[in-house]
Structure 1
Amino acid sequence: MQEEWEDVYANHVEAVFRYLMCFLGHREDALDLSQETFVKAFGRWKSFTGSSSLRTWLIAIAHNLAVDRVRKAERQRLLQKLLRQQPTQGVEMPEEIAQMNEARQELYLHIRHLKADHRAVVALRGLQEFSVQEAADILGWTESKVKVTYHRAIKSLSGHYKEGEQNVYEVV
């Protein structure tokens, strides 16, 4: 079992991290939730039925953890606002984003400002290249909702690019 689990971790940790990095936009949070994803998956290993791919199952766990993290952060921001306090943390760009080329850097910054549903579907379909069916399984949506939400997210991202600049479809 241990060798099997080590293989699962080694084969999927990068994909989980990349998804979380795109969804959350912060390296430390993505690393933290990557580890938490595998801890949770290990605890649920016996319940994995194989009805979806292992990769899809792991990304779904990561997605649910990320959504919970975002909701918690939103509640904290609301509480701070109600208490008339300024947030104590500034937004820091992760090392990976700083090392990317300028077009991809701009894209990631725009993705971070999308609604959570749009961020999730762009991360899965555009950056991680999951199929519509896999994205639907991960998000618990219909295939139709994945397609419509992805279209709207890309349209929103495209609106951020001026004429003559690189098209978002070329970057994703």
Structure 2
Amino acid sequence: MRWATISDNLKEQKVMEWYELYYKDLYRFIYYMLGDRQSCEDLVHDTFLRAYTSFEKFEKRASVKTWLFSIAKHLVFDEIRRRKRRRSITLFSEGKDIASPLNIEKYIENRDTVERSLKAIQQLKPDHRLVITLKKIEDCSTKEIVEILGWSESKIRKTLSRGLAELRKKDIAEGGGHNEPIF
């Protein structure tokens, strides 16, 4: 069942409510997927803009959160593809990170663990990165991940298992023995 045609004011109000509820979750998800604050800010903005423009297409079969994460996932994969194309064109990048007004680290107790985790996650295949970020960082249920990605539960479990195994290998290869495991 699709949303009935509603006024722009009501649509804007609804999307702003979603913004208040899910901004931090989407920001964290995109940040872990890309590791770049400026791109993260842009993609969070684009996620809500796309939600606004596609508002009438939202079907209430899934929760608003899973719909927003699905939009963000598509934007992230588009950005990953763009970056791969850019990398193949230019061998050297300047890659300066522009400071964000939102300091996500203040919400996390152990900055070293976060930075180590982020670095390790960035080195994974996009599918592994995606499932680990949704499950372990965003704490989405397997059912929510099924709705976001459109994959089977068994594919999600296998991808998660393989991604976590790869993270453990990276932790061991980089010296391991840290006080806290990555995941």
**TM tier relative to shorter chain:** 0.7 to 0.9
One-letter identity of the residue aligned with 1:137: E
Q: Deviations over 1:27-67 (max 9, x none)?
A: 11011000000000101111111111100000000010010
- The 1:91/1:135 distance shift into structure 2, 3 A limit, reads farther
* Matched residues, number: 164
TM-score, normalised to structure 1, is 0.87
CA RMSD of aligned residues (A): 2.0
In the TM superposition, residue 79 of structure 1 has moved relative to its aligned partner by: 2.4
Cα distance in 1, alignment partners of residues 98 and 121 from structure 2 = 13
- Is 1:115 the counterpart of 2:125 in the alignment? yes
Cα distance in 1, alignment partners of residues 166 and 31 from structure 2 = 20
Matching residue of 1:167:
181
Matching residue of 1:90:
95
For residue 101 of structure 1, the aligned residue among 105, 111, 114 is 111
Contact 1:25-1:94 within 8 A present in 2 as well: no
For residue 147 of structure 2, the aligned residue among 123, 137, 141 is 137
Structure 2, gaps ≥5 residues long: 1-9
Contact 2:30-2:43 within 8 A present in 1 as well: yes
Cα distance in 1, alignment partners of residues 62 and 182 from structure 2 = 30
In the TM superposition, residue 101 of structure 1 has moved relative to its aligned partner by: 2.1
In the TM superposition, residue 4 of structure 1 has moved relative to its aligned partner by: 2.4
Matching residue of 1:151:
161
In the TM superposition, residue 3 of structure 1 has moved relative to its aligned partner by: 2.5
- The 1:43/1:97 distance shift into structure 2, 3 A limit, reads closer
- The 1:107/1:138 distance shift into structure 2, 3 A limit, reads same
Contact 2:38-2:97 within 8 A present in 1 as well: no
Structure 1, gaps ≥5 residues long: 81-85
For residue 72 of structure 1, the aligned residue among 52, 68, 82 is 82
- The 1:146/1:94 distance shift into structure 2, 3 A limit, reads farther
Cα distance in 2, alignment partners of residues 15 and 49 from structure 1 = 21
In the TM superposition, residue 161 of structure 1 has moved relative to its aligned partner by: 2.3
In the TM superposition, residue 87 of structure 1 has moved relative to its aligned partner by: 2.1
TM-score, normalised to structure 2, is 0.82
What is the aligned-residue identity percentage? 27
